[in-house]
Amino acid sequence: MTNERLHHTGKVVRNFLLALWALFALFPIFWMVLITFKSDAEMFTTTFAFHPTLENYQAVLFGTNYFKAFLDNIIVSSGAVLVSVLAGVPAAYALARFEFKKKEDLAFTILSFKFAPEILVILPLFMIYQKLGIYDTYFGLIWVYQLITMPLLVWVVRGYFEDISVEIEQAARLDGYRWWEIFYKMLLPLIKPGLVSSALLAFIFAWNSFTFPLLLTSFNVETVTVASLKYIASDTVHYGQMAVAATVAALPEVILALLIQKHLVRGLSFGAVKG
Amino acid sequence: MSEETIKKSLKTGSRGAETSLTKVHWTVKARPYFIMAPCLLITVGILYPFASAIFYSLTNYSFRNPTWKFIGIRNWVYLFTDPDFWHSLLVTFKYAAATTIPQMLLGLGIALLLSKENWFTKILKVVLIFPLMIAPVIATLIWQLMTNTSVGILEKFLNLFGVYGFPWAASSHTALFTAAMIDTWVYAPFVIVLVSAGIQSLPKSPFEAARVDGGSAWFTFKTLTLPMLKPFMYIALIFRLMAALQEFAIIFALTKGGPGNTLMNLSLSGYNKGFAFLKFGESLTFVLVLWVIIYFISKKLVGDYLLTQKKAAGQEN
């Protein structure tokens, strides 16, 4: 009897603590979306009950260059992921299937880009980019984004290749297929779900990048992370517009995150944890 | 023969299959390098700036005057006598501790709470990762709205408890707390996700044995759960600590390192010296020190991780 009651109390405490954390984690998002529909006049006088309006969305998306920043962000992020997939997937295959000198050194060099302080890379790049004329261009940003997307793709996709048994490849080879035919016709379809998920996660990381676009671009190319900052910097009283900027930047990623659920652990840990 | 050795023998076999009778042709030997070449060419372009960073730290280069000369270790001597540097170094470690420690503890705690499967935890496992997907700058923007003293909801919430005008990021006493709270909001889910995956991978039998033997919950946790989760905790720690030591986005968006120089860590100081004061050579010394710190800590932690992984594997067999 007392044991049962103890068990019950434990369950209540557990759920209470979880609910508390969920409130902390989710309320800011709810609040952000809520006040996007609040007019400036009602911002100070009301909390939850108010007359919803779309004027904030109108002001941000059509009144400023925020929409252009949104498109720019899509261009550089997907460009960066595309380059990383084209160059990184073969590299991942080589690391998974071939034995060669300096293999692990190369693999760790690629991983180490992930840990390099961004400012350390940016300071010299700022100068080099201006000399090369790629400062403030899509190309320049896509290139430097490789530091974010390449290590992720190489390390995660390598793990997916290693999961495929070598026997399948052996059998195909005996049937007379060349290594690149096997790679293209057999292995790629097999790793496709994992590859797509890692590419999407790489896209999220690139999308979220802030330091690189802040310092390596200015007027021509602007990402939403940088564009949103203007709403903090200026002494704005348009809190609703600030919230719209945040919502429009955040929601695509939340939706993408829902799509890659199953592969998330693996991607986030760069293949170290096979969820 | 273990699975690993079979795999290995097959691997070498697969390479030699078509050429095993003759000498391995050089194109076959060079093949992996060819396949990796595009990836390496793209990323090596980024390695050059790193090498040049060391060089330029020995010059008086500045964005303002294009003529520069080699001044040896003067920047470095200046660095170590600069009180700003020592302050930044302290802030860097303070920030890393104030974010990483709560995130590891909360991550472990929440993951353990989530380990009982029911409809509530199933939903939470999906929705709790949302903050992690939001850009840190955007997260800071959201929290700026929440902590705003005139329209922020947190002010209204604190008013209920008789607290008025809590300064959040505006005061040097509460700025670190505010930044760490935002950082934790974004990144604690990372630890939760990783540790949850670890809990899911735990073998059932040792826990059943412990229950049959009548081991207490705390005993089971201390001697079984925690050691087996260690590799997962290490991965989370490595990723979190390395990022926390060089955090830029959250601090920049919140206070730009202020109020005063309260949150001026090495990344922010390097940025300030370089882009605000245009002292390029000096700013590089700040971030090079940061790089050295990150390099050695990551090396040590990765080594420890590989060791615990071996131990965990040994216990399982």
Query: B-chain residues within 8 Å CB-CB of A91?
Result: 35-36, 38-40
Closest chain A C-alpha to B288 CA, distance in angstroms: 7
Sign of the CA dihedral with B264 first, then B270, B275, and B276 last: positive
Domain boundaries, chain A: 2-36, 62-268
Which of B5, B15, B19, B35 to mutate: most A Cβ within 10 Å?
B35
Whether residue B43 is contained in a domain is answered as no
* Residue B17: predicted pLDDT: 45
Q: Are A113 and B46 in contact (CB under 8 A)?
A: yes
* Residue A156: predicted pLDDT: 94
Whether residue B28 is contained in a domain is answered as no
* Residue B151: predicted pLDDT: 78
Q: Report the half-sphere exposure of B122 (CA within 13 A, side-chain side).
A: 3
What are the average pLDDT values for consecutive 10-residue runs of chain A, which has 275 residues? 76 92 94 89 75 87 88 94 95 90 86 85 87 90 92 93 88 86 89 93 94 90 88 71 89 88 86 79
Whether residue B44 is contained in a domain is answered as no
Per-residue pLDDT band for B19 (boundaries 50, 70, 90) equals: very low
Q: Measuring CA to CA, which residue among B80, B148, B98 is closest to residue B263?
A: B98
Average pLDDT in the B10-39 region?
67
User: Above 60 in pLDDT, residue B4?
Assistant: no
Whether residue B292 is contained in a domain is answered as yes
Q: From CA A137, how far away is CA B48, in angstroms rounded?
A: 20
* Residue B183: predicted pLDDT: 96
* Residue A93: predicted pLDDT: 92
* Residue B16: predicted pLDDT: 43
Give the rounded distance of the alpha carbon of B300 from its chain centre.
14
Three-class DSSP category at B70: strand
Which of A29, A98, A197 to mutate: most B Cβ within 10 Å?
A98
Q: From CA A125, how far away is CA A212, in angstroms rounded?
A: 10
User: B270: Cβ–Cβ under 8 A, 6 or more apart, which residues?
Assistant: A119, A120, A123, B283, B284, B286, B287, B290
Whether residue B180 is contained in a domain is answered as yes
pLDDT per position as a tens digit, B234-279: 999 999 999 999 999 999 999 988 888 999 999 999 999 888 878 8
* Residue B208: predicted pLDDT: 83
Q: Report the half-sphere exposure of A79 (CA within 13 A, side-chain side).
A: 15
The phi and psi torsions of A161 (rounded to 5 degrees) equal -65, -40
Check CB contact of A154 with chain B, cutoff 8 Å.
yes
User: Above 80 in pLDDT, residue B14?
Assistant: no
More confident residue, B286 or B15: B286
Q: Measuring CA to CA, which residue among B138, B152, B145 is closest to residue A254?
A: B138
More confident residue, A181 or B180: B180
The phi and psi torsions of A238 (rounded to 5 degrees) equal -90, 70
- Select the residue of B39, B145, B287 nearest A242 (Cβ to Cβ): B145
Q: Measuring CA to CA, which residue among A205, A175, A183, A178 is closest to residue A73?
A: A205
* Residue B315: predicted pLDDT: 54
* Residue B314: predicted pLDDT: 64
* Residue B302: predicted pLDDT: 86
CATH of the domain at B178: 1.10.3720.10
User: Above 60 in pLDDT, residue B15?
Assistant: no
* Residue A235: predicted pLDDT: 63
CA distances from B312 to A152, A274, B142 (A): 25, 15, 41
The phi and psi torsions of B248 (rounded to 5 degrees) equal -125, -50
How many C-beta atoms lie closer than 10 Å to residue A259's C-beta? Answer: 12
The answer for A 65-124 residues in CB contact with B (under 8 A) is: 83, 86-88, 90-91, 93-95, 97-100, 103, 106, 109-110, 113, 115-121, 123-124
User: Above 80 in pLDDT, residue B152?
Assistant: yes
Boundaries of domain holding B303: 79-316
Q: From CA B222, how far away is CA B146, in angstroms rounded?
A: 39
Q: From CA A208, how far away is CA A228, in angstroms rounded?
A: 12
Helix axes B136-147, A188-208, angle to 10 degrees: 40
* Span of A5-19, A27-41, B65-79, B88-102 with lowest mean pLDDT: B65-79
Q: From CA A100, how far away is CA B108, in angstroms rounded?
A: 39
How many C-beta atoms lie closer than 10 Å to residue B30's C-beta? Answer: 12
Q: Are B95 and B102 in contact (CB under 8 A)?
A: no
Give the rounded distance of the alpha carbon of A218 from its chain centre.
22
Per-residue pLDDT band for B2 (boundaries 50, 70, 90) equals: very low
* Residue B20: predicted pLDDT: 47
More confident residue, B306 or A207: A207
Classify A62-268 by CATH class.
mainly alpha
Query: Helices then strands (H, E): number in chain A?
Result: 14, 0
Quick check: bond before B259 cis, omega within 30? yes
Q: Report the half-sphere exposure of B183 (CA within 13 A, side-chain side).
A: 29
- Select the residue of A31, A173, A242 nearest B141 (Cβ to Cβ): A242
Per-residue pLDDT band for B40 (boundaries 50, 70, 90) equals: confident
Whether residue B54 is contained in a domain is answered as no
Query: Structural domain tally of chain B?
Result: 1
Q: Measuring CA to CA, which residue among A52, A28, A48 is closest to residue A39?
A: A52
- Exposure of A177 by Cβ count < 10 A (0-12 exposed, 13-18 middle, 19+ buried)? middle
* Residue A234: predicted pLDDT: 62
Closest chain B C-alpha to A146 CA, distance in angstroms: 7
* Residue B23: predicted pLDDT: 66
Per-residue pLDDT band for B64 (boundaries 50, 70, 90) equals: low
Q: Measuring CA to CA, which residue among A231, A269, A268, A251 is closest to residue B134?
A: A251
Q: From CA B105, how far away is CA A11, in angstroms rounded?
A: 21
